[in-house]
């Protein structure tokens, strides 16, 4: 019996071309994408890794200060590890944070007091050094843009 080669039809071929173009445009690691965004969804569909991505998204969170009520509700699906309160990041503290996040298998290090540019820079470094966690900044309400749990 002869093996038949897979010959995609016109619509399947177009879909495969679109997925290849999407994967060429996106980063190789899904952790570098905005969770829940269009690129996140396109990556999940093209690679078939949605289960792994969702598990990582809802993975453990390392926080360096107590969470507010709104933040606790936001992270309700995640295990939250509270390390200790640091008001200023010092170099030796950062090494401890990296080691603790990696050893506990965290998906996120939550730094609500850091600026967006700092968060973005830290995430670039974590990606380049192939860490499996990322830094997340202040959680903001989708409706008001204000920090979660803060009433104005």
Q: Are residues 131 and 88 in the same domain?
A: yes
Domain count, the chain: 2
Q: What is the pLDDT along the chain (152 residues), one digit of tens a residue?
A: 567 676 666 688 888 888 888 889 999 899 999 898 899 999 999 899 999 999 999 999 999 888 888 899 889 888 998 876 555 556 667 888 888 899 999 999 998 888 999 999 999 999 999 999 999 998 887 777 777 765 55
Distance separating alpha carbons of residues 71 and 46, to the nearest angstrom = 32
Could you read off the pLDDT of 39-58 as tens digits, one per residue? Answer: 999 999 989 999 999 999 99
Q: Are residues 78 and 148 in the same domain?
A: yes
Q: Are residues 43 and 92 in the same domain?
A: no
Q: Are residues 102 and 88 in the same domain?
A: yes
Q: Are residues 18 and 37 in the same domain?
A: yes
The range of the structural domain enclosing residue 21 comes to: 1-57
Question: CA–CA distance from 143 to each of 36, 67, 102, 147, 148 (Å)?
Answer: 16, 20, 33, 11, 10
């Amino acid at each position: 019996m002869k093996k038949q080669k897979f010959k995609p039809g016109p619509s399947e071929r177009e879909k495969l071309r679109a997925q290849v173009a999407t994967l060429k445009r996106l980063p190789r690691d899904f952790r570098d994408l905005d969770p829940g965004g269009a690129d996140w969804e396109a990556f999940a569909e093209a690679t078939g890794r949605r289960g792994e991505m969702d598990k990582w998204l809802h993975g453990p969170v390392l926080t360096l200060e107590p969470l507010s009520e709104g933040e606790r509700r936001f992270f309700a699906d995640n295990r939250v590890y509270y390390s200790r309160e640091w008001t200023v990041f010092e170099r030796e503290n950062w090494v401890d944070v990296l080691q603790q996040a990696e050893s506990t298998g965290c998906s996120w290090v939550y730094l609500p007091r850091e600026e967006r540019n700092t968060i973005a820079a830290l995430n670039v470094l974590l990606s380049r050094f192939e860490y499996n966690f990322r830094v997340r900044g202040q959680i903001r309400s989708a409706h008001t843009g204000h920090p979660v749990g803060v009433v104005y």
